[in-house]
Amino acid sequence: MQATIYDTPDHELLRDQVARFLAREVEPYATAWEESGMVPRDVLRRMGQAGLLGIAFEGEYGGADADALTNLVFAEALSQSTFAGFIITVLVHTDMAGPHLHHAGTPAQKAKYLPRVTAGELITAVGISEPGAGSDVAGMRTTARRDGDEWLINGTKMFITNGVHGDLYFVAAKTGSARHDMSMFIVEKGTPGFTVGRALHKTGWLSSDTAELVFDNVRIPAGNLLGEEGKGFYSVMKNFQTERIALGAMAIGHCTQALKITLDHVRQR
Protein backbone atom coordinates (compact mmCIF):
# COMPACT_ATOMS: atom_id res chain seq x y z
CA MET A 1 0.00 0.00 0.00
CA GLN A 2 1.37 3.41 -0.96
CA ALA A 3 2.21 5.72 1.94
CA THR A 4 1.42 8.92 -0.01
CA ILE A 5 0.08 9.91 -3.42
CA TYR A 6 3.68 10.54 -4.48
CA ASP A 7 4.87 6.99 -3.80
CA THR A 8 5.43 4.60 -6.67
CA PRO A 9 5.80 0.81 -6.84
CA ASP A 10 9.54 1.36 -7.29
CA HIS A 11 9.63 3.23 -3.98
CA GLU A 12 8.01 0.28 -2.24
CA LEU A 13 10.52 -2.09 -3.81
CA LEU A 14 13.35 0.15 -2.55
CA ARG A 15 11.89 0.23 0.97
CA ASP A 16 11.67 -3.55 0.94
CA GLN A 17 15.22 -3.93 -0.34
CA VAL A 18 16.58 -1.64 2.38
CA ALA A 19 14.53 -3.37 5.10
CA ARG A 20 15.89 -6.76 4.04
CA PHE A 21 19.44 -5.42 4.04
CA LEU A 22 19.02 -3.99 7.55
CA ALA A 23 17.56 -7.23 8.88
CA ARG A 24 20.27 -9.36 7.31
CA GLU A 25 23.42 -7.21 7.49
CA VAL A 26 22.97 -4.56 10.19
CA GLU A 27 20.64 -5.19 13.12
CA PRO A 28 22.19 -8.53 14.23
CA TYR A 29 25.72 -7.10 14.30
CA ALA A 30 25.61 -3.36 14.97
CA THR A 31 25.96 -3.62 18.77
CA ALA A 32 29.53 -4.77 18.17
CA TRP A 33 30.07 -1.83 15.83
CA GLU A 34 29.03 0.51 18.62
CA GLU A 35 31.82 -0.97 20.71
CA SER A 36 34.44 -0.79 17.96
CA GLY A 37 33.45 2.75 16.95
CA MET A 38 33.00 2.11 13.23
CA VAL A 39 30.88 0.42 10.60
CA PRO A 40 32.91 -2.38 8.95
CA ARG A 41 34.04 -1.55 5.46
CA ASP A 42 32.76 -4.83 4.02
CA VAL A 43 29.21 -3.89 5.05
CA LEU A 44 29.48 -0.62 3.13
CA ARG A 45 30.88 -2.47 0.12
CA ARG A 46 27.90 -4.82 0.20
CA MET A 47 25.62 -1.77 0.20
CA GLY A 48 27.48 -0.57 -2.85
CA GLN A 49 27.11 -3.93 -4.57
CA ALA A 50 23.37 -3.74 -3.87
CA GLY A 51 23.20 -0.35 -5.60
CA LEU A 52 22.38 1.56 -2.41
CA LEU A 53 25.26 4.06 -2.28
CA GLY A 54 24.53 6.06 -5.41
CA ILE A 55 20.76 6.43 -5.62
CA ALA A 56 20.93 9.98 -7.01
CA PHE A 57 24.26 9.73 -8.85
CA GLU A 58 24.75 9.28 -12.59
CA GLY A 59 24.30 5.81 -14.03
CA GLU A 60 27.56 5.99 -15.98
CA TYR A 61 29.41 6.10 -12.66
CA GLY A 62 27.48 3.31 -10.99
CA GLY A 63 24.56 5.36 -9.68
CA ALA A 64 20.83 4.83 -10.17
CA ASP A 65 20.01 8.22 -11.78
CA ALA A 66 17.03 8.45 -9.40
CA ASP A 67 15.17 11.63 -8.49
CA ALA A 68 15.26 13.50 -5.18
CA LEU A 69 12.10 11.84 -3.83
CA THR A 70 13.52 8.36 -4.41
CA ASN A 71 16.67 9.41 -2.59
CA LEU A 72 14.56 10.54 0.38
CA VAL A 73 12.66 7.25 0.35
CA PHE A 74 16.05 5.56 0.70
CA ALA A 75 17.09 7.84 3.59
CA GLU A 76 13.82 7.25 5.45
CA ALA A 77 13.96 3.48 4.89
CA LEU A 78 17.59 3.34 6.04
CA SER A 79 16.60 5.21 9.19
CA GLN A 80 14.37 2.35 10.28
CA SER A 81 17.58 0.92 11.71
CA THR A 82 17.88 1.23 15.48
CA PHE A 83 21.57 2.16 15.13
CA ALA A 84 21.88 5.83 14.23
CA GLY A 85 25.67 5.66 13.99
CA PHE A 86 25.33 3.29 11.05
CA ILE A 87 22.68 5.49 9.44
CA ILE A 88 24.71 8.70 9.63
CA THR A 89 27.84 6.95 8.36
CA VAL A 90 25.93 6.08 5.20
CA LEU A 91 24.00 9.34 4.81
CA VAL A 92 27.13 11.47 5.13
CA HIS A 93 28.61 9.41 2.31
CA THR A 94 25.51 9.51 0.08
CA ASP A 95 23.83 12.85 0.92
CA MET A 96 26.35 15.17 2.56
CA ALA A 97 29.80 14.48 1.13
CA GLY A 98 29.28 12.59 -2.12
CA PRO A 99 26.93 15.20 -3.64
CA HIS A 100 29.78 17.75 -3.69
CA LEU A 101 31.52 15.55 -6.25
CA HIS A 102 28.25 14.74 -8.02
CA HIS A 103 27.26 18.40 -8.40
CA ALA A 104 30.60 20.16 -8.93
CA GLY A 105 33.05 17.54 -10.16
CA THR A 106 34.56 17.69 -13.62
CA PRO A 107 34.04 14.68 -15.90
CA ALA A 108 37.62 13.63 -15.14
CA GLN A 109 37.09 13.92 -11.37
CA LYS A 110 33.84 11.97 -11.53
CA ALA A 111 35.37 9.26 -13.69
CA LYS A 112 38.28 8.92 -11.26
CA TYR A 113 36.31 8.76 -8.02
CA LEU A 114 32.55 8.27 -8.39
CA PRO A 115 32.54 4.61 -9.49
CA ARG A 116 34.50 3.70 -6.35
CA VAL A 117 32.30 5.97 -4.20
CA THR A 118 29.10 4.28 -5.39
CA ALA A 119 30.73 0.86 -4.94
CA GLY A 120 31.62 1.58 -1.30
CA GLU A 121 35.32 1.25 -2.03
CA LEU A 122 36.00 4.90 -1.23
CA ILE A 123 34.15 6.33 1.78
CA THR A 124 33.69 10.08 1.73
CA ALA A 125 33.64 12.88 4.29
CA VAL A 126 33.15 16.62 4.00
CA GLY A 127 35.39 19.03 5.89
CA ILE A 128 33.52 22.23 6.65
CA SER A 129 33.05 22.59 10.43
CA GLU A 130 35.92 24.02 12.46
CA PRO A 131 36.53 24.69 16.16
CA GLY A 132 35.17 28.21 15.64
CA ALA A 133 32.96 27.78 12.58
CA GLY A 134 30.06 25.37 12.17
CA SER A 135 26.93 26.53 10.38
CA ASP A 136 28.62 29.95 10.12
CA VAL A 137 30.63 28.69 7.16
CA ALA A 138 32.01 32.12 6.30
CA GLY A 139 33.81 32.20 9.66
CA MET A 140 36.21 29.39 8.78
CA ARG A 141 39.96 29.87 9.13
CA THR A 142 41.34 27.05 6.98
CA THR A 143 43.13 28.54 3.98
CA ALA A 144 44.20 27.37 0.54
CA ARG A 145 46.82 29.24 -1.46
CA ARG A 146 47.73 28.60 -5.09
CA ASP A 147 51.42 27.77 -5.51
CA GLY A 148 52.26 27.03 -9.13
CA ASP A 149 50.53 23.82 -10.18
CA GLU A 150 49.45 23.05 -6.62
CA TRP A 151 47.25 24.29 -3.81
CA LEU A 152 48.69 24.62 -0.29
CA ILE A 153 46.12 23.96 2.47
CA ASN A 154 46.51 24.85 6.15
CA GLY A 155 43.99 24.64 8.96
CA THR A 156 41.91 22.40 11.19
CA LYS A 157 38.47 20.85 10.77
CA MET A 158 36.40 19.57 13.70
CA PHE A 159 33.48 17.14 14.26
CA ILE A 160 33.97 15.50 10.86
CA THR A 161 31.81 12.40 10.41
CA ASN A 162 33.68 9.56 8.66
CA GLY A 163 36.81 11.53 9.47
CA VAL A 164 38.80 8.64 10.95
CA HIS A 165 38.04 5.89 8.47
CA GLY A 166 37.19 7.89 5.35
CA ASP A 167 39.22 7.76 2.15
CA LEU A 168 38.19 10.87 0.24
CA TYR A 169 37.58 14.30 1.77
CA PHE A 170 35.88 17.33 0.25
CA VAL A 171 37.41 20.26 2.10
CA ALA A 172 36.32 23.89 2.22
CA ALA A 173 39.02 26.55 2.58
CA LYS A 174 39.33 30.31 2.28
CA THR A 175 40.96 31.33 -1.00
CA GLY A 176 40.66 35.10 -0.65
CA SER A 177 40.07 37.91 1.83
CA ALA A 178 36.35 38.45 1.22
CA ARG A 179 34.02 36.83 3.75
CA HIS A 180 32.47 34.41 1.26
CA ASP A 181 35.64 33.84 -0.76
CA MET A 182 36.23 30.11 -0.34
CA SER A 183 36.68 27.05 -2.52
CA MET A 184 36.21 23.29 -2.27
CA PHE A 185 39.03 20.80 -2.72
CA ILE A 186 39.47 17.05 -3.07
CA VAL A 187 41.96 15.63 -0.56
CA GLU A 188 42.82 11.95 -0.48
CA LYS A 189 43.74 10.11 2.70
CA GLY A 190 47.50 9.70 2.91
CA THR A 191 48.33 13.06 1.36
CA PRO A 192 51.49 14.35 3.13
CA GLY A 193 50.65 16.84 5.87
CA PHE A 194 47.04 15.66 6.18
CA THR A 195 46.38 13.82 9.44
CA VAL A 196 43.56 12.79 11.74
CA GLY A 197 44.37 14.86 14.81
CA ARG A 198 42.19 12.78 17.10
CA ALA A 199 39.08 10.69 17.14
CA LEU A 200 36.29 12.37 19.09
CA HIS A 201 34.36 10.36 21.67
CA LYS A 202 30.59 10.92 21.81
CA THR A 203 27.71 9.87 24.05
CA GLY A 204 25.70 8.45 21.14
CA TRP A 205 25.98 7.41 17.49
CA LEU A 206 28.95 5.37 18.65
CA SER A 207 29.48 3.41 15.44
CA SER A 208 29.88 6.69 13.56
CA ASP A 209 33.51 7.79 13.67
CA THR A 210 34.00 11.52 14.23
CA ALA A 211 37.34 13.29 14.03
CA GLU A 212 39.47 16.38 14.07
CA LEU A 213 41.37 16.82 10.79
CA VAL A 214 44.65 18.71 10.55
CA PHE A 215 46.08 20.22 7.36
CA ASP A 216 49.72 21.24 7.75
CA ASN A 217 51.12 22.55 4.47
CA VAL A 218 49.11 19.98 2.53
CA ARG A 219 49.94 20.13 -1.17
CA ILE A 220 47.39 18.90 -3.69
CA PRO A 221 47.35 19.18 -7.50
CA ALA A 222 45.65 22.21 -9.00
CA GLY A 223 43.24 19.75 -10.62
CA ASN A 224 41.85 18.87 -7.18
CA LEU A 225 39.92 22.13 -7.05
CA LEU A 226 36.27 21.04 -6.87
CA GLY A 227 34.04 23.46 -8.72
CA GLU A 228 34.93 27.08 -9.42
CA GLU A 229 37.55 28.93 -7.43
CA GLY A 230 35.90 31.33 -5.00
CA LYS A 231 32.46 29.71 -5.35
CA GLY A 232 32.77 27.16 -2.56
CA PHE A 233 30.50 29.06 -0.18
CA TYR A 234 27.61 28.75 -2.61
CA SER A 235 28.34 25.07 -3.19
CA VAL A 236 28.22 24.47 0.56
CA MET A 237 24.96 26.42 0.94
CA LYS A 238 23.41 24.47 -1.93
CA ASN A 239 24.42 21.16 -0.44
CA PHE A 240 23.19 22.16 3.03
CA GLN A 241 19.65 22.04 1.59
CA THR A 242 20.13 18.43 0.53
CA GLU A 243 21.64 17.58 3.91
CA ARG A 244 18.81 19.13 5.91
CA ILE A 245 16.16 17.31 3.90
CA ALA A 246 18.00 14.01 4.30
CA LEU A 247 18.20 14.57 8.05
CA GLY A 248 14.46 15.26 8.06
CA ALA A 249 13.89 11.90 6.35
CA MET A 250 16.18 10.32 8.94
CA ALA A 251 14.08 11.81 11.75
CA ILE A 252 10.87 10.47 10.20
CA GLY A 253 12.39 7.02 9.85
CA HIS A 254 13.50 7.10 13.48
CA CYS A 255 10.07 8.23 14.67
CA THR A 256 8.31 5.53 12.67
CA GLN A 257 10.55 2.81 14.07
CA ALA A 258 10.26 4.17 17.63
CA LEU A 259 6.46 4.07 17.32
CA LYS A 260 6.58 0.46 16.09
CA ILE A 261 8.83 -0.59 18.97
CA THR A 262 6.61 1.22 21.49
CA LEU A 263 3.42 -0.37 20.16
CA ASP A 264 5.02 -3.83 20.22
CA HIS A 265 6.05 -3.26 23.82
CA VAL A 266 2.70 -2.04 25.13
CA ARG A 267 0.85 -4.87 23.38
CA GLN A 268 3.03 -7.53 24.97
CA ARG A 269 3.55 -6.27 28.52
Among residues 98, 68, 69, 72, the alpha carbon closest in space to that of 18 is found at 72
- Which residues are the active-site residues? 243
φ/ψ of residue 226, rounded to 5: -105, 110
Distance CA 40, CA 33 (A): 7
**Contact between residue 174 and residue 185 where contact means Cβ atoms under 8 Å apart:** no
In whole angstroms, what is the distance from residue 158 CA to residue 160 CA?
A: 6
| Residues 106 and 61: beta-carbon distance below 8 Å | no
Q: How far apart are CA 178 and CA 231, in angstroms?
A: 12
For residue 213, which of 263, 153, 259 has the smallest C-alpha distance? 153
Look up residue 80 and give its DSSP letter.
T
Instruction: Using DSSP bridges, classify how beta strands 168-174 and 225-226 pair: parallel, antiparallel or unpaired.
Output: unpaired
H or E element, residue 10:
helix 9-21
Give the CA radius of gyration of the chain. Answer: 19
What is the C-alpha separation between 174 and 223, in angstroms, rounded? 17
Nearest one of 119, 146, 140 to 61, comparing CA atoms: 119
